[in-house]
Structure 1
Amino acid sequence: MVGTVAQSLDDILAGDDELPLSGDLKRVVEDWLRHVVVERGQSVATREAYERDARQFLAFLKSHFGHPPCLGDLERLDTRTFRAFLANRRKAGVTSRSLARSLSALRTFFRWLEREHVLQNRAVLQVAAPKIPHSIPKPLTVEGAASLIDRDTRDGAEWIAARDTAVLLLLYGAGLRISEALGLTPNTAPIDGRDIMHIKGKGEKERLVPALAVVSDAIATYMRLCPYSLEANEPLFRGARGGPLSPRLIQLAMEKLRLDLDLPNTATPHALRHSFATHLLSAGADLRQIQELLGHASLSSTQVYTEVNRDRLLAVYDQAHPRAARR
């Protein structure tokens, strides 16, 4: 894994001829990325995001200084330079959410530099993060989610249609992230009498997720039709050529279904996970239970679904509170 991270950084930096680095800084950045994976246990997606943020920031510094950045340059950075970097990214059309993530990555990097006694520069900690517009999940209606699962409008081989149905059911029927669904193996899938999945989510956080019979049946149907040998500890879901299934193929399948069923543009694979949580809440599930099922580290992440379902909560309040006006 460590070698993979270092090589990945080499690939990123080699992709831009205008971005040579001093040897000392290159080694430090590689060490930081190793720390992100090995010691902090961050997900592959987080590691890749940190790599992109590092590349973008170092490219900006080279342009800003007119020479390849070194550790001494990092030690002398002031708040104006960090703000100039964010402004530069803003001009390139980057959203506030992405800018906030980049700033968070840089703060993590500079805190690590100080903790490892490489250098100390707290200027980045004084830069305010961009304000992120408040947004709430956009789930599908119960009918819309059901239409995605029940109506087969996909073209191609029968086994591919069965595969896509199984994946979509894992998102809507179990609330999995797409990466979690595609990370299943025959040994971890809810088949052969297993009705509980051990899921490892963000930050390597593990949780137990029950599987409905309809989910298990869909997976069993896909496995029966799949033309490839599915080894016990290999990826369960395969692409047309037999390799691990790409999330992009599920996104494309959703786009087609969305058009065929006249669903809104917000009908994405992740919207099925939102729908899972919102529909459970509507049916009276406890917020703590939903938190556990989704694998959220804090309840505040789950509470956003209460905004989606405000009408139901007000109705419960009216019915249950002793001082509520009876209608």
Structure 2
Amino acid sequence: MNMETLKLFLDIASLKSISKAAQKSHITQSALSQQLKSWENTLGSELFVRSNKGASLTEAGIIAEKYAEQICKLYDDMVTEINHLQPTQHELSIYAIPEVCNYALPCTLYEVKKHFPNCHITLNEGASSLVEERLLLEEGDVGFISGPSPKSELCSNMVFSDQVMLVASSTTVCPDKITLNELPKYPLIWSSQLHCVQRALNNISAGELKLNILFNLDSIEAVKLAAIRGHGVAFLPYMSIKKELYSKQLKIIHIDQFQVNNDVYMVKKHNQRCDNDTKQLIRYIEKTLIDTLC
């Protein structure tokens, strides 16, 4: 038994799947199964009940998980203290939805670097589902998604809310205010990334509103560019269009009695295994985020 085996065991327990744990560690499922079987033979007890639904801990497995977490934490603390003897660069991996990744976090991360000059931060863009997946696989330390996560393995904390607005090119002839029922009159450039807009429309119209969607784009920047060129109207987060509104490239079309807010949540994995320096970085981001957003 070694530290690698312990961490692989904890991965299986967390993901409830030998195949997912093998995928995370980039080893074959058969190799991981052999390591697990060897450790079970050493302990003289089966640690998991295997089924088509995955792997769940036995009573012995629950005990093993408790002590394996303690051992891994002690080991990580030891490595951290030893690393403190010499200057090292600490890693922080962040996953965030596009609007947060591109328009909100860069200023925050600039402040983080000023206070933690030896940290290396990786900022990755992805949809909420991808962010959750990466955190569960522990490929990311912290994430930012739209709305709270339904995953029980993740804890969610709302950090800010950004209004999503209907906009058009300043050269487009259209009223400053419309009703929701008038929205289908206008060609709409749709972004599949803004799930909050679809949720808000479904809540108020029960799916009965037939939008005039011209085309669907994955990139918020592409949607914004198409709107600026007058190809149609578009729903866009305020944080992504502040400059264009100020320079009068875009204008807001208010919808009577309809408002969309994109509630952004910071998510982390419960009982996440990371060193004290990473925890300190995450705490600093939590503390200063609101005051340092772009």
Superposition TM-score tier, normalisation by shorter sequence = under 0.3
Instruction: Compute the TM-score of the two structures, normalised by the length of structure 1.
Output: 0.25
More helix by share: 1
Instruction: Compute the TM-score of the two structures, normalised by the length of structure 2.
Output: 0.27
